[in-house]
């Protein structure tokens, strides 16, 4: 069976761990727990008629006090670039982390997950920004770890991108 290492990139508290838990275990918890280092989960899915085991590297979020160690990204087949739709600055942080990864490892399939779509009334990322990212070649998915909306589709879409490479 094909295995693909997928790294989740983004700022602290954007919902990376919650997305992984929703995808792998179909659960959500309101409590916030900081990821220390990296946590690895596995899930098999069928992408494009092929079974693929995703090795999901849930990395600690980058913030003002700690930068992501790029060595964690070595061997990645894809990146899920996660931001919080209610905090516009997390999109820039996520894109900056992705740019650093791309400079170090070259072009690797990636998708942006704009998380917390269940909080649409507090949304800070404009449709214009989403359109601009799409025009720049990004695949985008609005997700909600809380409700599960878009979560399966985001991981499926990223798996297909890694297989197409």
How many whole angstroms separate alpha carbon 71 and alpha carbon 122?
35
Which DSSP state fits 52? E
List strands edge to edge, sheet with 110-115: 38-47, 50-59, 2-9, 78-84, 110-115, 139-142
Inter-residue contact 116 to 91 (CB < 8 Å): no
Inter-residue contact 83 to 114 (CB < 8 Å): yes
pLDDT in tens, 106-118: 999 999 999 999 9
Which DSSP state fits 5? E
Q: Give CB contacts under 8 A, 24+ apart, made by 153-157.
A: 154/19, 154/80, 154/111, 154/113, 155/6, 155/23, 155/43, 155/45, 155/54, 155/80, 156/45, 156/47, 157/111
Burial code of 33-42, b = ≥16 C-beta within 10 A, e = fewer? eeeeeebebe
How many whole angstroms separate alpha carbon 74 and alpha carbon 66?
19
Instruction: Please provide the average confidence, as pLDDT, over all residues in the chain.
Output: 91
For residue 52, the domain's CATH number is 3.40.50.300
Total number of domains in the chain: 1
pLDDT by position in tens, the chain (length 165): 899 999 999 998 999 999 999 999 998 877 656 665 578 999 999 988 889 999 999 987 765 444 667 888 999 999 999 999 999 999 999 999 999 999 999 999 999 999 999 999 999 999 999 999 999 999 999 999 999 999 999 999 999 999 987
How many whole angstroms separate alpha carbon 16 and alpha carbon 23?
11
How many whole angstroms separate alpha carbon 78 and alpha carbon 22?
19
Which DSSP state fits 119? G
- Can you give the pTM of this predicted structure? 0.91
User: Domain limits at 84?
Assistant: 2-164
């Amino acid at each position: 069976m094909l295995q693909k290492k997928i790294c989740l990139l983004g700022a602290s508290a954007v919902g990376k761990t919650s997305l992984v838990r929703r995808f792998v275990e179909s659960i959500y918890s309101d409590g916030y727990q900081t990821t220390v280092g990296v946590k690895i989960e596995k899930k098999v899915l069928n992408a494009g008629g092929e079974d693929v085991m995703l090795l999901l590297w849930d990395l600690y979020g980058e913030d003002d006090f700690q930068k992501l160690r790029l060595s964690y990204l070595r061997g990645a087949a894809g990146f899920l670039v996660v931001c919080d739709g209610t905090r516009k600055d997390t999109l820039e942080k996520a894109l900056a982390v992705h740019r650093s990864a791309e400079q170090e490892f070259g072009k690797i399939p990636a998708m942006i997950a704009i998380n917390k779509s269940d909080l649409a009334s507090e949304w800070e990322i404009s449709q214009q920004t989403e359109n601009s990212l799409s025009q720049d070649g990004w695949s985008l998915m609005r997700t909600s770890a809380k409700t599960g909306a878009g979560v399966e589709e985001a991981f499926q879409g990223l798996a297909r991108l890694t297989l197409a490479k």
